[in-house]
Chain A
Amino acid sequence: MALQVGTWRRGTPLVAAPSLKESAARTRRLPLISLAILLLLLVIPALFAEWIAPHDPLEGSLVARLQPPAWEAGGSTTYLLGTDKQGRDLLSRIIYGARISLQVSIVAVVLSGAIGTVLGLVSGYYGGWVDTVIMRLVDISLSLPLVLIGLVLVIVLGPGLTTVVVVVSLLLWSRYARQIRGEALAIRTQDYIARARVAGCSDARIIALHVFPNVVNTLIVLATLNVGQVILLEATLSFLGAGIPRPLPSWGVMVADGRDHIVAAWWIAMVPGLAIMLVVLAMNMVGDWLRDELDPRLRQA
């Protein structure tokens, strides 16, 4: 969750090269467990789904429906994590679901990040009425109740993977814009910007070459933290019936499918729910670490 703290402080233009001891200390603090989780649960399944998944995630066999995981009574090694109510293998669906989660989150984050950064930079750099207009747009976007608008948008645009991505991006761009604008405002008053303007550089050039590189760190941190938000938002929309359409195996849809069976067939909802939780947790931890690393200003030490 992006922290919209009202204070902004002047940034340090240069970072001194770290000493060997400092580098070593930093590497030790790498969130290894989180990275491992992400690799195992998100990246590898997403990239190698066809090779890893034991079954087809979309075709099920009704005879095999609602089978428990292999370690429970009645389970078998054919379906390691059990089957859902259509008789589809849960493990395969989780693996392919990772791909969908990754696809949706990357595209949505890039899209909302792009929109938010451009608007934030423009707003912060130019100031004046441009700033006012864009900030009003940000305010409006922030005041709209997320889930509600998401639902209505999906109804308007029709269901589908693209729709969900577009909807999520439209809902989240403002989180970037505000933060980036703050940074751009601070940077704008720096000496080197004034010098560049005097030297005759165009505004676009200045923004791209001088302002943007200084906000990249914030952007990266925000983006990482946002991935978790995107996954959760998509899962919520799916739960409410307005997310990734069936029979695609998005984790959110799987939890929604399993909610009626939470007692008798707990694995249908629990396993994808757990996957969502672990991935988002890991993402947040990595994001925290990145923030500590890249952005001394936002560091909490």
Chain B
Amino acid sequence: MQRYILSRIVQSLVTLLGVSVIIFSLARLSGNPLDVLLPAEASASDIERTAELWGLNKPLYEQYWIFISNAVQGDFGVSLKYRGQSAMGLVFQRLPATLQLAAFAVVISVVFSLALGVMSAAQKDRPIDTLGKTIALLGQSMPTFWLGIVLIWIFAVKLAWLPTSGQGGFANLVLPGLTLGWFSVAAFMRLTRSSMLDVLDSEYIKLARAKGLPEWKVLWKHALKNAAIAPLTFFGLIVGFLITGSVTVETVFAWPGIGLLAIEAVNARDYQVIQAVTLVGALVYIVIGLVVDVLYGYVDPRVRYS
């Protein structure tokens, strides 16, 4: 078991390093931030001079080395768009907002997919099953930004039940959370459904029923507990996705999280921030994957020896 954990950690570090190289080269290749940040009236020599000042003229490998050696100490450089603020500082400042949104979206999707998944498994191949599958699939088929815009107009403008955008109280969380969460309901629900079906077919469930236990206990206490294992893997992926995939939702709802930060950084060619956001996102994803794999390793011994 120890060896398994160790090897997984080493794998994760390698992955992280790979991500850093890719995002570094891509960000640099995407162009000169000064062309975006300096006003249209700036001349070519203005840009040269400012580039010199900010160390943007050094050779790439030197810049990468500076980047990596500082990064391991937690220093991701200084943002060009938000003058004077450290890139990591920006990320940490905005991360809680995304986490809050992601957490809420996860709660929504877990609740709905569990409910839908169990119901569908219970009523397999009947109309409710199809309905459940369709509702879930709908979430996966709609462009997130479109859904967000439509929800804003229906619930925030026409009905005025909820605020239109921005972060605030619980009410502000609902629409963006719904938009973000619905997407993952489908896959999660299907997984729940299939595991439930597998488990419901097994011996000890038949035994429980034979013993005369009430149906709801069979479903919720015994079946679900065991069926939850497979969705566990997916859960990790979902959380990772939600954090890194929130760009569109945050754009539409002006939610001040790292998704919005990232897209602003891309548009402004704010290298340091692009790198910081990507690496933090990748780190979260990798760590969650690691945790899930380790848990899986405990549960399913076959995995350890693959």
Contact = CB atoms under 8 A, between A and B. Distances in A.
What are the 6 A-B residue pairs with the smallest beta carbon separation, nearest first?
Answer: A145-B244, A280-B141, A300-B194, A143-B282, A281-B141, A140-B18
B14 A3 contact: no
Nearest to A151: B266
Interface in B94-151: 124, 133-134, 137-138, 140-146, 149-150
B149 A300 contact: no
A147 B248 contact: yes
A155 B140 contact: no
Nearest to A242: B266
29 contacts: A3-B190, A5-B230, A6-B233, A6-B296, A6-B300, A6-B303, A7-B302, A132-B11, A137-B18, A139-B11, A142-B285, A143-B240, A147-B245, A148-B244, A148-B247, A149-B26, A151-B266, A152-B27, A152-B274, A153-B26, A235-B146, A236-B248, A240-B247, A240-B263, A262-B150, A263-B157, A273-B146, A280-B142, A285-B137
Given A148-B247, A148-B277, A3 B187 contact: yes
B30 A156 contact: yes
Nearest to B30: A155
B26 A156 contact: yes
Contacts of A269: 146, 149
Given A144-B278, A232-B143, A240 B23 contact: no
A1 interface: yes
Contacts of A278: 141
A104 interface: no
Nearest to B258: A145
Interface of B: 11-12, 14-16, 18-19, 22-23, 26-27, 29-31, 124, 133-134, 137-138, 140-146, 149-150, 153, 157, 186-187, 190-191, 193-194, 197, 230, 233-234, 237, 240, 244-245, 247-248, 251, 262-263, 266, 274, 277-278, 281-282, 285-286, 289, 296, 300, 302-303, 306
Main secondary structure of the interface of A (DSSP, over half): helix
A131 B196 CA distance: 33
B247 A300 contact: no
Interface of A: 1, 3-7, 132, 135-137, 139-140, 142-149, 151-153, 155-156, 185, 228, 232, 235-236, 239-240, 252, 255-256, 259, 262-263, 269-270, 273, 276-278, 280-281, 284-285, 288, 300-301
* Most B C-beta atoms less than 10 A away, residue of A6, A139, A145, A147: A145
